């Protein structure tokens, strides 16, 4: 809040309190004067009092009329009551409307600025924390802010469903946290919760608002895997005998992993080409794309037809499932003797099912074939011929680039490519460079590719196909070392600290972060740490205590789990090499380990010789490390010397 806003608020409060005090004082004066003028109430029809009241109104009536919007309970009834037959100047609002006279531009306005759930996607019966961030968007102090929660799926824990915030000043925000528990019978999916907001202003006015938010419930919504088809991609028209690609976007809405997922046509004109392809596993709540090559047989009645395909998969317990799914397609017949340009396959940057990112330039490779019986003359290929390019975020792209291409734009050439003559059965590959709008939102975009040509009779013809392009955000997440050593000694504990930094421009939903080691360390922190939402330019500090137990070249791995824009589980890893060494022994001087003769004083030696106690010097062996493998034994003492064993 700036100084000007603070000054305006201080002036309004001071003026309001001063006016209120003057009004109360004036009301007391009126009540004090009432007994001294009994003739005004006993003889209201006398000429003299009536004439006296035709002049300016009393001072108390003027004060009551100029008071700011004050609650009716704070004003005595006599203050706002003018003299009989005379209206108080400026008194237009009734006492019951005084609490609503605060101007709209000065009233407090409380909004729900943001909410977070920790942990994200709680399971049925699980307790989670709901964090609400409230902001005052008005120009007045909001007092006694109350928040009520109403939901049949989420129940309060350890407190009621009504939480409070003392006051929120203009432009400020406040966070309210409460614990909720998911109902035991809640199914997986998004469930609503109603948030009621009530607050007061400093004049006694009361305001309210109500918003609804959705909280995702994950986990075991069903006791088996359940696959649902969320999207299909295939050519607009299929020619018998010419293989084509079918892509299915699948989502596991069940509570268990779907294993060995594959697709096979059952009833219809389609057949697999080269087998069912690779098998995939889809975790609960995760999605995947299955690609198969199919070919259509000749049909008696060409045109639109229905094909049944089966989604075949297993549960973790080995139970088999086969869910039928209808698929609509259009098949050409023998009567199609004219030219028919088609797209048989396409690649992005040389890869199938590749993903691109906003602001990125990529190459679109199209495998074309003239599947008709005649040659196509003067053939032109047009990208976005039918105004395609639709998908998530296409509105933003339409405003930033060519409307027919959506969020895509050609680079180095136009969206029209002249192919000239295409004989019947000819196959060729065309490559075009495109760029994605930097403001494109993540999602699946469709791009229509049109063909304009002339048949053998000179008639202008056209055909079209649709390709799908996946646009996802480029995750700019890095793992930076904060306290990471490159070498250490066995038995010397070390603290391992890294920062997980979101260098992107949007919030990223992160899961667990963990520190993994090999057999050279004993890990003090074994439980993964949940991160949650990481805002742009935000960071999370991950710390672990490591104890080296074995010498050698070791590795410490930091792994971060997250979900991409298509709800697929992804991981980010960084490996830190560490050299673990054994501590070295302290160097020992060889001369200090040799025996030495301790002669002692000469007089003492003579005296000991006379008494027969021996006057030869004694051999002293210094204390030192015990002789190990490979150490040379001590030399034998000279003749006549006495060996003294080391003490201790």
* pLDDT of 311 over the 70 cut: yes
pLDDT (mean) for 262-267 = 85
**DSSP-based three-state secondary structure for 315:** coil
Most confident residue range from 70-74, 236-240, 531-535? 531-535
pLDDT of residue 422: 92
Dump the DSSP string for 221-234: SSSS--EEEEEEE-
16-42 pLDDT, tens digit per residue, is 667 666 666 655 544 444 444 444 333
User: Which helix (DSSP H) or strand (DSSP E) does residue 216 occupy?
Assistant: strand 206-217
For residues 503 and 464, membership in a common domain is answered with no
Residue 348 lies in a domain: yes
Residues 85 and 139 in one domain: no
What is the C-alpha separation between 193 and 178, in angstroms, rounded? 13
CA angle 546, 531, 149 (to 5 degrees): 145
Question: In 423-506, which ranges are E strands?
Answer: 427-436, 443-454, 460-471, 477-483, 487-489, 494-502
Backbone φ and ψ of 42, nearest 5°: -80, -40
For residue 4, name the pLDDT band (cuts at 50, 70, 90): low
State whether the Cα torsion 157-159-164-165 is positive or negative.
Answer: negative
Phi–psi pair at 43, nearest 5 degrees:
-120, 75
438 and 536 share one domain: no
**Which H or E run contains 400?**
helix 394-400
Residues contacting 364, CB < 8 A, separation 6+: 346, 347, 348, 431, 432, 433, 434, 467
Q: Among 349, 347, 345, 346, which residue's Cα sits nearest to residue 360?
A: 349
Q: Is the pLDDT of residue 567 over 80?
A: no
**Is residue 318 in a domain?**
no
Residue 231, token pair as written in the block: 């999207």
| Torsions phi, psi for 163 (to 5 deg) | -120, 155
Q: Who wins on pLDDT, 128 or 89?
A: 128
488 and 434, same structural domain? Answer: no
Mean pLDDT of 63-77: 36
> Which residues span the domain enclosing 424?
337-473
Q: Where is the domain boundary, 101, 121, 147?
A: 101
At which of 563, 581, 599 does a domain end? 581
DSSP 603-641: HHHHHHHHTTS--SPEEEPPP-PPP-TTPPPPPPPPTT-
Q: What pLDDT is recorded for position 28? A: 53
Contact 472, 442 (CB under 8 A): yes
Q: Higher pLDDT residue, 29 or 108?
A: 108
485, 576: one domain: yes
What number of other Cβ atoms are within 10 A of residue 482's Cβ? 13
Residues 163, 56 share a domain: no
**Is 160 domain-assigned?**
yes
Nearest 5°: the CA angle 389, 395, 399 is 95
199 has a pLDDT exceeding 70: yes
What average pLDDT is seen over the chain?
Answer: 75
Q: What is the mean pLDDT of residues 618-646?
A: 49
Burial 297-332 (b: 16+ CB within 10 A, else e): eebeebeebebebbbbbbbeeeeebeeebebebebb
Token pair in block for residue 470: 């996946």
Of residues 247, 258, 270, the one with CA closest to residue 321: 258
Measured CA distances, 629 to 35, 388, 626, 635, 636 (Å): 121, 83, 10, 17, 19
Residue 327 has pLDDT above 60, yes or no: yes
* Rounded mean pLDDT, 52-81: 36
Pairing of strands 596-598, 569-581: unpaired
Is residue 291 in a domain?
A: no
Q: What are 43's two structure tokens?
A: 């003889």
- Residue 428 shares a structural domain with residue 494: no
Cβ atoms 27, 78 nearer than 8 A: yes
Give per-residue pLDDT as tens, 469-500. Answer: 888 888 889 999 998 988 988 888 888 899 99
| pLDDT for the residue 293 | 84
pLDDT at residue 191 is higher than 70: yes
Kindly calculate the radius of gyration of the chain based on its CA atoms and give it in whole angstroms: 43
CA angle 366, 368, 369 (to 5 degrees): 170
Q: How far apart are CA 350 and CA 74, in angstroms?
A: 78
Phi/psi for 233 (5° steps) reads -140, 120
Does the pLDDT at position 154 exceed 70? yes
Task: Name the residue with higher pLDDT: 258 or 616.
Answer: 258
Number of Cβ within 10 Å of residue 27's Cβ equals 20
Q: Is the predicted pLDDT of residue 595 greater than 80, yes or no?
A: no
Do 153 and 92 sit in the same domain of this protein? no
pLDDT for 50: 34
- In this structure, the answer to whether residues 429 and 506 fall within a common structural domain is no
% of the chain exceeding 70 in pLDDT = 69
Q: Is residue 303 part of a domain?
A: no
Which pLDDT belongs to residue 523? 78
| Tens digit of each residue's pLDDT (9 = 90 or more) over 501-546 | 998 888 888 889 989 888 888 877 656 888 888 888 899 998 888 8
Q: How confident is the model at residue 329 (pLDDT cuts 50, 70, 90)?
A: confident
Q: The whole model's pTM is what?
A: 0.40
Mean pLDDT of 142-169: 87
If one counts the domains in the chain, the total is 5
In a domain? residue 156: yes
Pairwise CA distance, residues 267 & 273, whole Å: 16
Residue 412 or 78, more confident: 412
Do 188 and 78 belong to one domain? no
**Rounded distance between C-alpha atoms, residue 457 and residue 442, angstroms:** 45
Given strand 460-471, what is the order of strands in its sheet? 355-356, 460-471, 443-454, 376-383, 416-422
Which range (293-307, 444-458, 599-613, 617-631) has the least confidence?
617-631
Residue with the bigger pLDDT between 389 and 450: it is 450
- The answer to whether residue 256 is domain-embedded is no
CATH of residue 382: 2.60.40.10
Which of 217, 245, 279 terminates a domain? The answer is: 217
Tokens of 441: 């939102």
**pLDDT band at 244, cuts 50/70/90?**
confident
Query: What is the number of residues in the chain?
Result: 648
Pairing mode, strands 460-471 and 355-356: parallel
If asked whether residues 495 and 463 sit together in one domain, one would say: no
88 part of a folded domain: yes
Quote the CA–CA distance of 136 and 5 in Å, as a whole number: 13
Q: Which of 63-67, 420-424, 464-468 has the highest average model confidence (pLDDT)? A: 420-424
Indicate whether 45 pLDDT > 50: no
- Quick one: 110 and 183 in the same domain? yes
Q: How confident is the model at residue 87 (pLDDT cuts 50, 70, 90)?
A: very low
Residue-level pLDDT at 611 = 72
**Cα–Cα distance, 637 to 621 (Å, whole number):** 10
- Which position has the higher pLDDT, 253 or 93? 253
């Amino acid at each position: 809040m700036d100084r000007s806003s603070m000054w305006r608020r201080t002036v309004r409060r001071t003026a309001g309190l001063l006016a209120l005090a003057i009004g109360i004082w004036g009301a007391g004066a009126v009540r004090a004067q009432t007994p001294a003028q009994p003739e005004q109430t006993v003889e209201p029809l006398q000429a003299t009092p009536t004439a006296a009241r035709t002049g300016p109104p009393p001072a108390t009536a003027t004060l009551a009329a100029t008071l700011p919007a004050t609650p009716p309970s704070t004003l005595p009834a006599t203050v706002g009551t003018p003299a009989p037959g005379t209206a108080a100047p400026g008194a237009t609002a009734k006492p019951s409307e005084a609490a609503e006279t605060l101007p709209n531009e000065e009233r407090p306005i409380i909004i729900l600025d943001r909410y977070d759930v920790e942990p994200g996607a709680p399971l049925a019966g699980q307790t989670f924390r709901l964090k609400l961030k409230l902001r005052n968007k008005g120009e007045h102090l909001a007092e006694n802010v109350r928040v009520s929660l109403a939901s049949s799926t989420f129940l309060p824990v350890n407190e009621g469903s009504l939480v409070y915030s003392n006051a929120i000043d203009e432009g400020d925000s406040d966070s309210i946290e409460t614990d909720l528990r998911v109902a035991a019978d809640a199914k997986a999916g998004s469930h609503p919760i109603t948030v009621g907001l009530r607050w007061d202003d400093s004049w006694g006015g009361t305001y309210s608002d109500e918003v609804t938010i959705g909280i995702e419930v994950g986990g075991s919504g069903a006791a088996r895997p359940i696959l649902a088809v969320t999207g299909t991609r295939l050519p607009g028209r299929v020619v018998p005998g010419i293989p084509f690609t079918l892509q299915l976007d699948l989502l596991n809405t069940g509570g268990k992993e779907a294993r060995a997922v594959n697709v096979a046509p059952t009833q219809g004109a389609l057949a697999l080409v080269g087998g069912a392809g690779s098998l995939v596993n889809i975790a609960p709540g995760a999605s995947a794309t299955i690609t198969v090559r199919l070919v259509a047989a000749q049909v008696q009645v060409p045109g639109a037809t229905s094909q049944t395909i089966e989604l075949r998969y297993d549960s973790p317990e080995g139970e088999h499932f086969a869910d039928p799914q209808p698929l609509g397609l259009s098949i050409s017949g023998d009567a199609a003797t004219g030219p028919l340009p088609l797209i048989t396959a396409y690649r992005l940057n040389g890869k199938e099912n590749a993903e691109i990112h906003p602001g990125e330039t990529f190459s679109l490779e199209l495998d074309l074939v003239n599947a008709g019986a005649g040659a196509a003359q003067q053939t032109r290929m047009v990208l976005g011929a039918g105004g395609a390019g639709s998908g998530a975020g296409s509105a933003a792209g339409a405003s930033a680039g060519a409307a027919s291409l959506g969020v895509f734009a050609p680079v180095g050439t136009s969206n029209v490519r002249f192919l000239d003559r295409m004989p019947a059965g000819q196959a060729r590959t065309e490559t075009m460079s495109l760029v994605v709008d930097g403001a494109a939102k993540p999602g699946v975009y469709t791009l229509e590719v049109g063909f304009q040509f002339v048949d053998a009779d000179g008639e202008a013809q056209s055909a079209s196909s649709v390709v799908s392009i996946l646009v996802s955000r480029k995750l700019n997440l890095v793992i930076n070392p904060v306290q990471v050593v490159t070498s250490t000694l066995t038995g010397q504990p070390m603290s391992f600290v890294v920062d997980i930094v979101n260098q992107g421009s949007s919030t990223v939903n992160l899961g667990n972060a963990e520190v993994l080691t090999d057999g050279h360390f004993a890990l003090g922190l074994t439980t993964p740490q949940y991160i949650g939402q990481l805002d742009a330019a935000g960071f999370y500090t991950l710390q672990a205590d490591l104890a080296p137990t074995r010498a050698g070249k070791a590795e410490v791995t930091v792994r971060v789990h997250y979900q991409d824009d298509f709800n697929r589980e992804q991981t980010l890893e960084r490996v830190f090499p560490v050299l673990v060494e054994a501590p070295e022994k302290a160097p020992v001087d060889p001369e200090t380990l040799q025996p030495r003769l301790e002669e002692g004083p000469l007089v003492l030696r003579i005296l000991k010789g006379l008494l027969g106690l021996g006057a030869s010097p004694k051999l002293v062996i210094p204390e030192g490390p015990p002789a190990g493998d490979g150490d040379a034994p001590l030399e034998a003492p000279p003749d006549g010397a006495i060996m003294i064993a080391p003490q201790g």
